[in-house]
Amino acid sequence: MNPSFPDAFVLKLLRQEASLINAFRRLVEKVETRTEQQLRETKGIHLEPIKTDPPYQSIRLDRGPRAKVLVDGDTLVFLDLDQDHDKTYGRK
């Protein structure tokens, strides 16, 4: 898949700690070499629908942090990220 990063996402990412930025870099390397189905099947990535916010998906950046993404054909658009796993899903 081709990753895409809107400006607002990049600005939020740059305010994160170096460890999260490095985790994101590793994720992008995986995204670039896999199809959508492979991302869904790859342990540790957990690309999955956000049931409370369709058609958006959630993808794991690191152990807790997740990004909100949109699958647009063969492009994975990164929209938002949060250190708190539950906030990505709209939970407290």
**Helix then strand then coil, % of the chain, to nearest 5:** 35, 25, 40
For the beta carbon of residue 60, count every other beta carbon within 10 angstroms: 19
Which pTM value belongs to this model?
A: 0.87
Alpha-carbon span 12 to 10, nearest angstrom? 5
Q: Please tell us whether the domain made up of 2-83 is placed in CATH 3.40.50.2000.
A: no
Alpha-carbon span 6 to 48, nearest angstrom? 20
Question: Per-residue confidence of the chain (92 residues) as pLDDT tens digits?
Answer: 999 999 999 999 999 999 999 999 999 999 999 999 999 998 889 899 999 889 999 999 888 899 999 999 999 999 999 876 565 555 55
What's residue 63's pLDDT?
A: 82
CA 52 to chain centre: 16
* Closest-CA residue to 23 (of 50, 63, 82): 63
